[in-house]
Amino acid sequence: MPGQSTQQATIHARLPIVALFLIFLASLLIIHLANFQFFPRSVRQELERIGSSITNTTLRIPAERGMIYDRDGEPLTFNIMQYRLGVSPDLVFDAETLMKQLSVILDMDEVELYFRLTSENVWEFVAGPISAEQGQAVAELDDISLGLEEIPRRFYPQGSLAAHVIGIVLDDGLIGTLGVEGAYNSTLAGRVMDLSVSNVPFDLPEDRPAEQRGQDIVLTLDRDVQFWMEVELEQAVRENGAFRGSIIVMDPRNGEVLALANYPSFDPNRFLEITDPNLLINPAVQETYEPGSLMQVLTAATALESGAITSQWSYNDVGLIEIGGREFRNRFFRAHGTVDIAGVLAQSLHVGSATMALEMGEEAFYNGLRAFGLGQATGVGLFNEEQGELRLRGDTGWSESAFGLNSYGQDLQVTQMQMITAFAAIANDGIMRQPHIVRQVISEEGPKDARHSTVRRVLSTETATILKNLLVRTVREGAPEAYMPNYTVAGKPGTAQINTAIGYETGPNSSIVSFIGFLPADAPEVVAMVKLDRPDDFFGFEVAAPVFRRIADRLVILLEIPDDAVRQELQAVEARLRASQTEQG
């Protein structure tokens, strides 16, 4: 038929156009599909992120924290693992059975567990922290709906021993604070990993890079010395009715801190139970105080070193001196007549200290105190060390009368670590060593010596020798309670009134008493400081000196320090050997 033939002809004519149009549309579709797959990465990544957020979660995996050891390799810390338990309720097959199993393992209420196992949430917290044993029991259920998240915890096997030195760890084992844990947190913590893990079911990767682990630290601390210093300190605080106390023991030859004890202290395993936050402060480095008559030793040393006085110096003590328009008097307002340096130190004479300061002058005096490290943190390696306060001319609050007060330890602020470091420099023939608590840092490459070197020479050898002899006399004449018959002890008691906003306290329990001593005086191997706050008795020689004597009796045994007779015999043998070798040569 002609009409049909025309219609077919039209269709045949248009068919190539339609085919081309369909081919064009198909090509566009293919191009868009290829473009989606290969080119617009941002779109694809966004869709992948959305999908991943539904089934995955980002988990921060803390590194295994480095260990802390004492100088002999005894562990002072351990890492233990606890867990948080979670569940994917949609994957729970038999909630009632799982409820009963978990109730036995976790000792939890069954009703509470059931509500969590049947929650409408994608992921539901169940319990935590739970112990490693409980975590193992949960893992053995082999239930795909359950997931365990690691919570690293720090354990301190020695309990409260050296708590202020070691410190604590917060925030699921990530952040160290106090002591070495805080000061060396970045060294101990290692490298944290952020991992994307499936939360249906929640799981943890088994393999972690070895370099993620934190580095180990070896302290200068001697565990046995630390233990006995804490025992003696607690006894001293209790016997003397003191508010608190501290003992520091140091090797003056290299600056190593062998013990640092505070009482009262705390158990770092239970620090969350502490109700008094002041217990977490390390008073030996984080608090300052006026040292009182201990400062007279540094005043005398500076005056001798500057040449303002000699070892033969003396003055006429009339019991009174005026500086900057202010009168300074000895305790009990006594005059003592002709007094030498040893007399000033043994009797803690304010007038004598101020007289020495005047004779050397303001500039030499303050230069000497700065050389001894006052007003500067020692860098011992403990968390948040205070630097103290030593005001100079031009500083707010300084006056000429402050010059006199400073000479015998008032109107300035120091830390215990600064004071024992200064005395250690005298003991070490005038050379100040860097005080330090960390001996080694151990990484994958092996141990690295962390010992510090000389800070500076503070005194000449001659001046240091004069000071040692003066401090031996000070013990015999001013603090016989610290005297030891078989060892020559050099030292100085200190008594400081407690300064408040309205002036110095008076009456009972109103002083800070201390004693710093070293032995053997001619070749010191150990220096120790005792400090007690607010004891029943007022003066350092009657309270702190006997405590020093007790700890010194222990230290010579623990550190195997030979007495004077044995050392003299050894020196005689060495002298005979040298003489014999010289004759043979």
Q: Say if strands 244-251 and 78-87 run parallel, antiparallel, or are unpaired.
A: unpaired
What dihedral angle (degrees, nearest 10) is formed by the CA atoms of 503, 509, 511, 516? Answer: -170
Statement to judge: residues 185 and 241 lie in one domain: no
Q: What pLDDT band is residue 552 in, cutting at 50, 70 and 90?
A: very high
Report which residue type is found at 306. S
Specify burial of residue 499 (Cβ count, 10 A radius: 0-12, 13-18, 19+): middle
Statement to judge: residues 258 and 118 lie in one domain: no
Statement to judge: residues 468 and 532 lie in one domain: yes
In a domain, 584, yes or no: no
In a domain, 44, yes or no: no
Closest CA to 518 of 431, 423, 435, 434: 423
Statement to judge: residues 147 and 268 lie in one domain: no
Statement to judge: residues 192 and 93 lie in one domain: yes
Domain boundary at 168, 183, 217, which? 217
Statement to judge: residues 401 and 522 lie in one domain: yes
In a domain, 7, yes or no: no
Task: Give whole-number Cα distances, 513 to 37, 230, 234, 329, in Å.
Answer: 79, 18, 15, 20
Compute the chain's Rg from CA coordinates: 36
With tokens 């001196």, the residue in question is 321
In a domain, 239, yes or no: yes
231 Cβ contact list (under 8 Å, min separation 6) = none
pLDDT tens string 14-68:
667 666 666 766 676 666 666 655 545 555 555 455 455 545 555 556 678 899 9
Among 173-187, 201-215, 526-540, the range scoring the smallest mean pLDDT is: 201-215
In degrees and rounded to multiples of 5, residue 11 shows phi and psi of -60, -45
Closest CA to 532 of 161, 239, 226, 243: 243
Statement to judge: residues 250 and 202 lie in one domain: no
Statement to judge: residues 151 and 260 lie in one domain: no
With tokens 């003056």, the residue in question is 252
Domain interval for residue 260: 223-568
Number of Cβ within 10 Å of residue 69's Cβ equals 20
Give the rounded percent of residues in the chain with a pLDDT score beyond 70.
85
In a domain, 31, yes or no: no
Q: What pLDDT band is residue 202 in, cutting at 50, 70 and 90?
A: very low
Whole-model pTM: value is 0.83
Q: Say if strands 68-69 and 216-219 run parallel, antiparallel, or are unpaired.
A: parallel
In a domain, 300, yes or no: yes
In a domain, 114, yes or no: yes
Statement to judge: residues 121 and 149 lie in one domain: yes
pLDDT tens string 213-253:
889 999 999 999 999 999 999 999 999 999 999 999 999 99
CATH number at 423 reads: 3.40.710.10
Statement to judge: residues 303 and 245 lie in one domain: yes
The span from the CA of 439 to the CA of 451, in Å, is 5
In a domain, 8, yes or no: no
Statement to judge: residues 175 and 256 lie in one domain: no
Closest CA to 298 of 390, 397, 379: 390
Statement to judge: residues 178 and 269 lie in one domain: no
pLDDT tens string 409-459:
999 999 999 999 999 999 999 999 999 999 999 988 888 887 667 889 999
The span from the CA of 472 to the CA of 466, in Å, is 10
The span from the CA of 11 to the CA of 24, in Å, is 19
Within its chain, how far is the Cα of 240 from the centroid? 28
pLDDT attached to residue 197: 55
How many structural domains comprise the chain? 2
